[in-house]
Amino acid sequence: MNSIVHSYAQLSLIVSRGAVFVVNFATLFFINCTVMVSFNNWVGVIDSGVGGLTILKQLQRDFPSCNFLYLADSAYCPYGTKLPSQILQRVQLLIQFMQGCSAQALVIACNTASVYADTLRQQFGMPIYDVIAPTCERVTQVTKSKRVALLATNATVASRAYQRKLKESGVATVAFPCSTFVPFVETNRGDTDECSEAVNKALANLAKCNVDAVILGCTHFPLLRKKIAPFTCGAEIVECCTHFQPTCFCNGETVGQTVFLTTGEEKQANHAAQWYGEVHFVHVDI
């Protein structure tokens, strides 16, 4: 997937003047300024950090002609340890930003934020795709015993969004709060002994739960799959997905473009996203 970010040096200079200018032939993209000319059809993708890139990869693979604007809210990461009111208010600001950029649709590539998807749809009146409902549908197709484990952030577990949705399908859920995993992904320290210790501490009792499926209920967690897998005792691991529908949002035969933004430090976001491939985040103030 091509990025329309041309160079770190050029963008840093423009950002310091209070705006981001990204040029792609005849298309001029203005962010954080009063004038805005955007792609005709593009989709916003938001997450608390770089974990949502796991969803973006799926979207880019399945819909290669779509244009995407990925926004990592790294300055406020992690969401999973914050109060519900703080999470909702923050996500509302991100969606307002996306609407200000004329987004045609939005994918919430974050489970903790997806808890509020119905509220956000009613408030903003635009197509908003979450990851909780589609992931629940996938796990109900996988489980035979109707007993699954949920690994998610503290806030996602506390919301009981997964538990309620799965109960509607007769599936019992054993939940494991795992917010401690997220910082290891955000700092690219997934291969460290400290990360192994955190996973061991959080999942020590998973083997006793007699489940046949394990939901990675945070989009950061697939990046720690090798650390998590030994604790699942052969249960099928289910990663998050979304029900995004590309109608009217794609460009037919044209290969789509992607812009990467972060509310945090560009260098840190680029470092955390090395697993994704070549990417150049640009800082925005939201």
Enter the tokens of residue 101: 């950029």
33 is catalytic: no
Residues found in the chain: 286
110 is catalytic: yes
* Cβ contact 179:80 at 8 Å: yes
For residue 111, the 8-state DSSP code is H
Closest to 219 in 3D by CA, of 44, 46, 55: 55
Closest to 43 in 3D by CA, of 125, 126, 120: 126
Max Cα separation, the chain? Answer: 59
Closest to 211 in 3D by CA, of 270, 255, 148: 148
Q: Point out the catalytic residue in the list 110, 136, 195, 240.
A: 110
* Cβ contact 262:283 at 8 Å: yes
Separation of alpha carbons 176 and 159, rounded Å? 13
Q: Point out the catalytic residue in the list 66, 101, 136, 218.
A: 218
For residue 162, the 8-state DSSP code is H
Catalytic site positions: 110, 218
